[in-house]
Structures are given as C-alpha cells and as structure tokens.
C-alpha cells in the first residue's frame, strides 16, 4: 500500500509545481484569424507550457467588451484602428502594437468556371449578387469598395451588392451560392498553397489600402509574462509560417 | 442628435415587415393552432415540436438553413426560381418568409392555448344552435379566444421587430430592403458609433416595453372580468 | 303520414365499452334514458344529436332520416334542441344574445319568431334576466336560460343531458317545476338523460334503461320502476312509484289525501293544492302483508291487492309484486322474509292486504 501513497503524493506535488510556472493568457481574436490562431496556440503551449484561452469574434464587439471590463489580455484585431483606439483610450499599451498579419483580398466564386479573368468578370456583370463585407465595419469590405472604385464600377454594381456584417458572413453568402461572387479573404478559400474549391482572382495589393491586422497588449495583460511571451511568439518564425500557410502575408 | 434618414428608413422598413408578417402569421398560424389544439393524431407531437423549434434554436441556425434552402441549390430557391420569382435571400420577401418561420411559435402557441382552454363544449353548443363550422369559428371561437389572438398578434409583431440573427444571415444589409432597425443598431455598435446606436436602441427598448405593457394590462383586465 | 316514432339503431365498439342499441321510441312525450354512469346514456344522446358519430347506424325522427349507414346529417342541420349538463352559455353574449344566437340561424335572415322567443322566456321565467351576462347569473338561472335557448328554436326533438345533475338540491327544486311545465305543455318529443329515479318518475312518460351500452328494458314509468326482472327493482331500495293527485287536506289531523291508481293514500300534510299532480314512492321494505283486513292497526294506509309474482332474493328474502287498485294491476312491491311468506302461504293470484308503513313524496 505504502508505495502507491507515495506516488500519489509525488504526482500532486509535481502538478502543483507545474501549475505555478505555466500561465494562462486570455486573448480576443478577430474571427477571420480563428484557424491559424488555434494552431499557433497549440504550438505556443508546446514550446512554452503556457495555456492560451482564445475568444473569437468581431473587433467592434471586442472593443465594446474591453471598454466595459472584459478580462482579455491581448487583442488580435482584424484592423489597425481598433488597437489604436484602445491605446488612445489608455486601455492598451501603444508601444506593444504591431502588424501580425496582412490580409489578401480575393474575388471568389464557388463555381470553378466562373472567374477566368477577375476584372473582366466584374465588368461583364454576368451575376446577380456580389457579396462584400460591410465596408464601414470590416477592412476587407473597405478594400473591396476601393477595388470597385479602381475599376470605376461602384455605381454599376451598387444595386447588386449584399453586405455581410463580417468577412465570415460574406464568405457564407458566396459559399451557399446565394451570391455568385464575393470579395473574401484569401485565408478563407486557401490552404497550403492552393485554392480549396471554386475559382478566384487575387486582387493586386495596390488596388486598395493594406488590410493590416494589428495585435496589441491590453492593460489587463501588462503584468502577465505569458502574454508578452505570446506576442513575441507571434513575431517568431514558427507562427509566421503558420500564418502564411493560411493565406496571409507578413 | 436624432434619427438619420437611414434610421428612419430602417424604422419604416421594420414596421412594414412586422405588420405584414403579423397578418400572414395570423392567417397561417390560426389553422395550425386550431389543428394542434384539437387533433388526436400522432402527428400532433412532431408538428408541435417543429413549430416550437425557433424558440430554442439560435436564430443563426435557422438563418443558416434558410439561406441554404432559399439559395440557388436549395429546394425553396429552386421552387421560387422555377416560378419566376427569383431568389429570396437579400430581398424584403425573403425576410418576410424567414420572419414567418421565426415568429411562428409566438403566434401559434397563444392561439392554441386559448382554443384548448375553450374546449369542445361551446362549439358543440353552437352546433346544436344551427351554426355551421365557419359560423362557429367566427362567432364563437374568435370572440371567446380573443385575448389569445390579441396576445399572438402583439407577440408576433414585437418578436419580428426584435428579430436580428436571422435577418443578419439572409438579409445582406440592403438599405430600404433588408436593413431593419436591429441590424442598423448592430452596425452602429460595430462601427463604434455609440451615440447613434443609443438613439435607436433606446427607442427599441421603449417600444418593446410599451408593447409588453399593453399586453399585460390587457391580460390583467381580462383576468378581472 | 310518416310514423310518429324515433327509431335509433347504433352498434359500435369503443376502446372502453361497446354500444349496442336498437330503439323504437314514441314520437311525443318525455322519454328518459336511465342508467348508471358508464351505461352509455349520454353517448346515445350525443349520437342522436350528431355530436358523436358511429361509422354505421340508423336514426330517424318522426319520419325524417338523420343518419343512414355512414351518411349523416351534421348537427347544425338537425332540427333539435340540446341542453347540456352544464348550461354552456356563450360567455361573450348576454342571456338575450344566447337566446337569439340559434333563433337567428333558424330564421336564416328572415324575421325571428318573436312569439316562440317570448313563449320560451315566459315558460322558464327568465324575462328579468335577459340583459345579464352568464357570469352574472346563478347556476339555476343559467340552466333555465340554456333550456329556453333550446326551446326557442322550436325544435322537433328536445335532447336533455342530465340538466339538473350539476345543480344542488335547492337549484333542482327551482328548475323541476319548469321542466314539469315543459312536460305538460310541449308537443315535441323529449329525450331526457338521467341517473336519478326521482327525476325520471316525475318527468318521464317512458323509460329506457341502459346498462353497459345495452337496453335492459323499455316501458312506461310506473310499470318499469317496479318490474321484478330488473336489477333496479331487486336493489335494496326497490320501490314502486305512484302517479297521484292531491284530493284534499284534513287540517284536524294535518293529513293530506292523495288519489292514486292503487287507491287513496294519506300523508302528513304537504304544501300542495288540491288537484295538483304529485309523485309518491313506496319502498318495498315499507310494505307488510296481511291475509285479513286488519281491523285495528296503527297503520294508516291499507290497500287490498293481489299477488302477481314472487321473486326470491337472497336465501331468506323474497320480493313480492302486487297488483293494487280497481283493476288489481297497479304495481306495488313488498320485501318480506321467506319465513313470513311460508306462514302466509303466499301463492300467485292470492288476494290480501298491503299495509303501507311509509309513503314518500318525491320532490
């Protein structure tokens, strides 16, 4: 009987020691970055022993929640404005902000035949609906509008635009075929260097302003070493490789 | 500050949607409630559960399936296209159809309860007094179950006004067509324009409160009688 | 000229009981459908009203066919009046609104039959209640309005499903006189469901006894309630019912004399006017028998009678059916011991004297 008792005691002790070293980080992540973040969190946990607890949602909602005391320590936003605004209001540490990923806008259709030449497809107008993210809310939406402006198509296509309230919903409109075309994020239709399905045209980066996704350390996380460690990890090669694999650039 | 033109447009659209949906729900929901209240069929359970489903389902689930069903590859979408009506998502009529599904239990259940509470007897009495089936419904069921119908209409209307998740899923945020008040509020919040959001949100709170106030005082008066 | 009869044939098996009736009832007067709960009497009445259906059946009322096989006339096309156990007035209408609801539909857009309405109102004495809502009426008043509502339609058949059962004794007393007036004044046939022998005796001309969905017997009231072959008569409270009229009062002894087909009986004085119709009930165990006319006895009512039949009950008991009155045919029942019967040497046809220890006035 005795040896077993000793073992149990030893295990308990070990667990207690480990818990004292391993920290938890609570982070808020833009919905479009859900898949890469899950992989990064796993890699980070393995390399550092720290645990990441992530909430996924829209940057606007996180902004409202952080303002009202939500317990997040890091924000990985879908834009650059939200972190900047939080820093301005003293809710985040301005000097910690950095761009962790840059989005790529694509014109995408579920139909593999539809997009041979992107600009031509847009000009020809052989479609009923074009889904874009709400330009007031989502950087991808703003970029999509700028692209349409570039081609001088805003007025022609305005009546056919349907707006998703975020980029995930925009993708949904196009993926269910309710809109034949959609300006979505490359990360949504791209995996490991190839298009998952349908047809797409990658919008050249100079047709619109950059789709910059910034991360920032929130005030609540300023004393958490693990939070700072995660921010550093995001800048490292392991994370960057994952980020690129999901269709972002950096 | 006050309502912007876009707000007014959203309010007008919302009222139009809710009124139309309420009328349709009373027309569609009453026979369903009637059947549910009186049938002894084995289908009563499944049909009742189906009608009540929107009570427990997240609106996004309902919205997602409606988006699939009404899309070009869905059965409803193929039907509407073959009828020359085009596709329903991103249209006012798409919202109408979705809202009818979504608010159905709020209309069916009060009417069903009222008819169940009525029982067979008044209808039998009316039949022995020479009233045919329609006559019985209009001159006995409707007046006696009036509080139930009133509750149903008010709840159906209010619930459609407050609907958000489904609209977000199938609406596409088109001004004057699918951008209702709740979506407008959401956009303001997401865009961090809290001032405008407050205006609309507070109006919605006051509206909802008044609706419920009317409902409860009507029920109270009924109970006193 | 179609037959003035009500013919009803229903055979149907329900999950919990089966109905099997084949009735030929008089097309006028009050017929009571009598039996315990579960005997099928209410089901039968509802089938006749068309409120319930059997897949097969036949029903004709005074020559008019209401059901033949599976073809049936819906309830609202049957020229009937129906009174439920609970008044079942429409809560959203005044008493007048309730009365006029059916009349309007009978009139089909033409003028209502005001005379029929006034007659129904007068018959049930509800003239002062017309503007009230059902919830402002007492239970008895509600039931009177419900009866008037059915009568005002001038139906060709009046169906009443235990209209008094939901009322307390005082309310029953309030309504019974109105029902008796119906009996005396109505030309149309009435089917009256009841499980109360008193009500049946007071109101009905004909009785149909039902048990477990079957007709046990059918006949005139006085005869049926005393028939020996019926379970009712064998029951502990077997009794004879006598239809009588008040002859006079004797204030000196505070007695009332009542003429019945069995003879004149004396009762402790009752508040009824001479000539008024009353029902008397004589329980079998209140009757004793004597071979010779008792010269001196404290028993007030002694009638000559003849033994019609002897029916053994349990081991030591007998039920004796007697015929009294001028024709020695008005039935009376006596419950006596076998010992007494043997001592008296009772045989059928024997003449003797019935000593009646108690007579009850049926309210």
Q: Do chains A and B touch (3 or more CB pairs under 8 A)?
A: yes
Distances (CA, A) of B8 to A187, B11, B149, B181: 38, 5, 30, 9
Cα–Cα distance measured from residue C207 to residue C212, given in angstroms and rounded to the nearest whole number: 16
pLDDT: which is higher, C31 or C196: C31
3-state SS, one letter per residue, for C5-52: EEEEEEEEECCCCEEEEEEEEECCCEEEEECCCCCCHHHHHHHHHCCC
Residue A201 pairs in a beta bridge with A107
Which chain A residue's Cα is nearest to B74? A176
Rounded mean pLDDT of B170-175?
A: 80
Which chain B residues are Cβ-neighbours of A85 within 8 angstroms?
192
Tell me whether residues C88 and B126 touch, CB distance under 8 A. Answer: no
| C153 in reach of chain B (CB within 8 A) | yes
Mention every residue, 6+ apart, whose C-beta is less than 8 A from residue C321: C226, C228, C307, C308, C309, C310, C311, C331, C332, C333
Rounded mean pLDDT of C287-314?
A: 85
Which chain B residue's Cα is nearest to A132? B172
Domain CATH for B48: 1.10.3720.10
Cα–Cα distance measured from residue C284 to residue C310, given in angstroms and rounded to the nearest whole number: 13
Query: Nearest Cα to A75, choosing from A64, A61, A59, A90?
Result: A59
pLDDT: which is higher, C137 or B173: C137
Which chain C residues are Cβ-neighbours of B143 within 8 angstroms?
92
Minimal CA separation from B130 to chain C, in Å: 4
The answer to whether the beta carbons of residues A151 and A190 sit under 8 Å apart is no
Minimal CA separation from A138 to chain B, in Å: 9
Tell me whether residues B128 and C150 touch, CB distance under 8 A. Answer: yes
Query: Nearest Cα to C283, choosing from C232, C213, C345?
Result: C232
Tell me whether residues A136 and B187 touch, CB distance under 8 A. Answer: yes
Please state which of the ranges A47-51, C211-215, C263-267, C300-304 shows the lowest mean pLDDT. Answer: C211-215
Tell me whether residues A162 and B172 touch, CB distance under 8 A. Answer: yes
CATH code reported for the domain at A22-102+211-245 = 3.40.190.10
pLDDT: which is higher, C62 or B189: C62
Please state which of the ranges A12-16, A148-152, C261-265, C354-358 shows the lowest mean pLDDT. Answer: A12-16
Tell me whether residues B89 and A64 touch, CB distance under 8 A. Answer: no
Tell me whether residues B127 and C92 touch, CB distance under 8 A. Answer: no
Which of the residues B66, B192, B194, B198 would you substitute to probe the A interface, choosing the one with the greatest number of A C-beta atoms within 10 Å?
Answer: B192
Which chain B residues are Cβ-neighbours of A110 within 8 angstroms?
none
Instruction: Give Cα C294 to chain centroid, integer Å.
Output: 36
Per residue in B109-157, pLDDT (tens digit) is 999 999 999 999 999 999 999 999 999 999 999 999 998 999 999 999 9
Per residue in B43-101, pLDDT (tens digit) is 999 999 999 999 998 888 888 888 889 988 889 989 998 998 888 888 899 999 999 99
Which chain A residues are Cβ-neighbours of B70 within 8 angstroms?
178
Run of H or E residues at A162: strand A161-164
| A137 in reach of chain B (CB within 8 A) | yes
Cα–Cα distance measured from residue C274 to residue C276, given in angstroms and rounded to the nearest whole number: 6
Tell me whether residues A134 and B186 touch, CB distance under 8 A. Answer: no
Q: Which two tokens stand for residue C96?
A: 């007048």
Q: Which of B68, B183, B187 sits opposite A176 (nearest CB)?
A: B68
Run of H or E residues at C99: helix C95-107
Q: Which two tokens stand for residue A23?
A: 């920290």
Domain count, chain B: 1
Which chain B residues are Cβ-neighbours of A129 within 8 angstroms?
90, 172
Q: Which of B121, B122, B132 sits opposite C76 (nearest CB)?
A: B132
Which chain A residue's Cα is nearest to B65? A176
Minimal CA separation from B140 to chain C, in Å: 8
Kindly list the structural domains of chain C, giving each domain's residue range(s) and its CATH number in brackets, ordered by start: 5-234 (3.40.50.300), 239-361 (2.40.50.100)
Angle between the N-to-C axes of helices B181-190 and B5-38, in degrees from 0 to 180, rounded to the nearest 10: 130
| Model confidence band, residue C128 (pLDDT cutoffs 50, 70, 90) | very high
Tell me whether residues C102 and B139 touch, CB distance under 8 A. Answer: no
The answer to whether the beta carbons of residues A63 and A82 sit under 8 Å apart is yes
Residues of chain A with CATH 3.40.190.10: 22-102+211-245, 105-202
Q: Do chains C and B touch (3 or more CB pairs under 8 A)?
A: yes
| C85 in reach of chain B (CB within 8 A) | no
Q: Which two tokens stand for residue A164?
A: 């998703």
Per residue in A66-101, pLDDT (tens digit) is 888 788 999 999 899 999 999 999 999 999 999 999
| Model confidence band, residue C1 (pLDDT cutoffs 50, 70, 90) | very low
Mean pLDDT, chain C, integer: 87
DSSP state string for C203-217: H-SEEEEEETTEEEE
| C91 in reach of chain B (CB within 8 A) | yes
Q: Which of B122, B129, B225 sits opposite C102 (nearest CB)?
A: B129
Q: Which of A128, A172, A177 sits opposite B73 (nearest CB)?
A: A177
Q: Which of B127, B130, B143 sits opposite C51 (nearest CB)?
A: B127
Q: Which of C76, C86, C92 sits opposite B130 (nearest CB)?
A: C76
The answer, yes or no, to whether residue C130 has pLDDT greater than 70, is yes
| Model confidence band, residue C237 (pLDDT cutoffs 50, 70, 90) | low
Q: Residue B19's pLDDT is what? A: 93
Please state which of the ranges A10-24, A104-118, B83-97, C11-25 shows the lowest mean pLDDT. Answer: A10-24
Tell me whether residues B129 and C149 touch, CB distance under 8 A. Answer: yes
The answer to whether the beta carbons of residues C233 and C226 sit under 8 Å apart is yes
Q: Which chains touch B (3 or more CB pairs under 8 A)?
A: A, C
Q: Residue C110's pLDDT is what? A: 84
**Residue C11 CB-density burial (10 A; 0-12 exposed, 13-18 middle, 19+ buried):** middle
Q: Residue B177's pLDDT is what? A: 84
Tell me whether residues A177 and B192 touch, CB distance under 8 A. Answer: no
Q: What percent of chain C lies above the pLDDT cut of 90?
A: 39
Please state which of the ranges B35-39, B83-87, C127-131 shows the lowest mean pLDDT. Answer: B83-87
Identify the top-confidence range among B59-63, C92-96, C291-295: C92-96
| C157 in reach of chain B (CB within 8 A) | no
| A114 in reach of chain B (CB within 8 A) | no
Q: The domain A105-202 belongs to what CATH superfamily?
A: Periplasmic binding protein-like II (3.40.190.10)
Query: Nearest Cα to B145, choosing from B107, B103, B117, B104?
Result: B117
The answer, yes or no, to whether residue C157 has pLDDT greater than 90, is yes
Mean pLDDT, chain B, integer: 89
What domain range includes position B36?
A: 5-224
* Residues 78-97 in A contacting B (C-alpha not used; CB under 8 Å): 85
Q: What is the ipTM of this complex?
A: 0.79
Tell me whether residues B121 and C150 touch, CB distance under 8 A. Answer: no
Rounded mean pLDDT of B8-19?
A: 93
Which of the residues A165, A174, A183 would you substitute to probe the B interface, choosing the one with the greatest number of B C-beta atoms within 10 Å?
Answer: A165
- In the block, residue with structure tokens 């000196």: C252
Rounded mean pLDDT of A162-181?
A: 90
Minimal CA separation from B34 to chain C, in Å: 19
| B67 in reach of chain A (CB within 8 A) | yes
| C86 in reach of chain B (CB within 8 A) | yes
Which of the residues B127, B130, B148, B149 would you substitute to probe the C interface, choosing the one with the greatest number of C C-beta atoms within 10 Å?
Answer: B130
């Amino acid at each position: 009987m005795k040896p077993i008792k000793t073992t149990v005691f030893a295990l308990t002790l070990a667990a207690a020691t480990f818990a004292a070293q391993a920290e938890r980080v609570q982070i808020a992540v833009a919905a479009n970055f859900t898949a890469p973040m899950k992989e990064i969190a796993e890699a980070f946990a393995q390399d550092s022993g720290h645990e990441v607890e992530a909430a996924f949602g829209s940057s606007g909602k996180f902004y409202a929640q952080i303002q009202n005391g939500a317990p997040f320590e890091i924000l990985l936003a879908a834009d650059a404005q939200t972190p900047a605004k939080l820093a301005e209001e003293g809710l985040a540490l301005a000097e910690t902000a950095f761009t962790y990923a840059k989005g790529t806008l694509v014109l995408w259709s579920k139909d593999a035949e539809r997009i041979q030449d992107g600009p031509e497809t847009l000009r020809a107008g052989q479609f009923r609906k074009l889904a874009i993210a709400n330009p007031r809310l989502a950087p991808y939406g703003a970029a999509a509008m700028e692209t349409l402006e570039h081609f001088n198509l805003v007025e022609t296509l305005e009546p056919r635009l349907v707006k998703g309230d975020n980029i995930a919903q925009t993708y949904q409109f196009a993926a269910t075929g309710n809109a034949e075309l959609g300006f979505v994020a490359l990360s949504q239709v791209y995996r490991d260097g190839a298009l998952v399905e349908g047809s797409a045209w990658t919008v050249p980066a100079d047709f619109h302003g950059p789709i910059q996704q910034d991360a920032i350390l929130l005030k609540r996380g300023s004393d958490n070493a693990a939070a700072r460690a995660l921010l550093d990890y995001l800048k490292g090669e392991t994370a960057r490789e994952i980020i690129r694999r999901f269709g972002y650039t950096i | 500050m006050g309502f912007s033109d876009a707000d007014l447009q959203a309010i007008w659209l919302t009222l139009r949607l809710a009124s139309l949906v309420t009328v349709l729900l009373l027309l569609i929901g009453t026979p369903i409630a009637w059947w549910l209240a009186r049938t002894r069929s084995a289908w009563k359970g499944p049909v009742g559960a189906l009608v009540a489903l929107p009570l427990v389902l997240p609106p996004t689930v309902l919205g997602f399936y409606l988006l699939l069903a009404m899309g070009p590859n869905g059965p409803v979408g193929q039907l509407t296209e073959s009828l020359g009506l085009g596709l329903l998502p991103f249209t006012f009529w798409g919202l109408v159809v979705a809202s009818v599904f979504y608010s159905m239990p709020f209309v069916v259940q009060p009417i069903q309860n009222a008819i169940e509470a009525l029982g067979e007897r008044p209808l039998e009495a009316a039949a022995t007094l020479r009233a045919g089936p329609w006559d019985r419904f209009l001159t006995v069921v409707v007046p006696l179950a009036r509080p139930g119908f009133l509750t149903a209409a008010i709840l159906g209307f209010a619930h459609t006004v407050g609907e958000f998740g489904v609209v977000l899923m199938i609406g596409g945020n088109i001004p004057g067509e699918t951008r209702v008040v709740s979506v407008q509020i959401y956009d303001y919040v997401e865009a961090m324009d809290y001032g405008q959001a407050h205006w609309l949100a507070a109006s919605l709170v006051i509206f909802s409160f008044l609706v419920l106030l009317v409902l409860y005082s009507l029920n109270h008066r009924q109970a006193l009688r | 000229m179609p037959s003035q009869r009500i013919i009803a044939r229903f055979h149907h098996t329900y999950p919990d009981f089966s109905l099997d009736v084949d009735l030929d009832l008089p097309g006028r007067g009050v017929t009571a459908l009598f039996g315990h709960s579960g005997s099928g009497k209410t089901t039968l009445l509802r089938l006749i009203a068309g409120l319930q259906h059997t897949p097969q059946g036949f029903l004709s009322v005074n020559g008019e066919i209401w059901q033949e096989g599976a073809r049936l006339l819906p309830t609202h096309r049957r020229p009937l009046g129906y009174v439920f156990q609970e008044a079942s007035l429409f809560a959203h209408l005044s008493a007048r609104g309730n009365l006029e609801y059916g009349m309007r539909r009978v009139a089909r857009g033409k003028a209502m039959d005001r005379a029929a309405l006034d007659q129904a109102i007068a018959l049930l004495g509800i003239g002062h209640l017309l503007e009230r809502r059902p919830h402002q009426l007492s239970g008895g008043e509600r039931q009177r309005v419900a009866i008037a509502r059915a009568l005002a339609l001038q139906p060709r058949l009046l169906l009443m499903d235990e209209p008094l059962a939901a009322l307390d004794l005082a309310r029953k007393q309030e309504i019974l006189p109105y029902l008796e007036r119906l009996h005396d004044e109505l030309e149309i046939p009435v089917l009256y469901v009841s499980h109360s022998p008193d009500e049946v005796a007071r109101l009905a001309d004909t009785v149909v006894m039902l048990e477990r969905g079957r007709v046990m017997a059918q006949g005139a009231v006085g005869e049926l309630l005393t028939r020996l072959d019926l379970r009712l008569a064998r029951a502990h409270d077997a009794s004879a019912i006598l239809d009588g009229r008040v002859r006079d009062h004797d204030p000196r002894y505070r007695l009332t004399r009542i003429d019945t087909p069995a003879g004149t009986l004396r009762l402790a004085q009752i508040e009824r006017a001479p000539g008024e119709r009353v029902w008397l009930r004589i329980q079998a165990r209140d009757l004793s028998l004597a071979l010779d006319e008792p010269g001196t006895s404290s028993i007030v009512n002694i009638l000559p009678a003849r033994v019609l039949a002897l029916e053994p009950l349990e081991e030591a008991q007998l039920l004796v059916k007697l015929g009294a009155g001028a024709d020695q045919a008005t039935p009376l029942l006596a419950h006596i011991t076998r010992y007494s019967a043997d001592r008296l040497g009772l045989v059928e046809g024997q003449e003797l004297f019935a000593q009646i220890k108690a007579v009850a006035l049926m309210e």
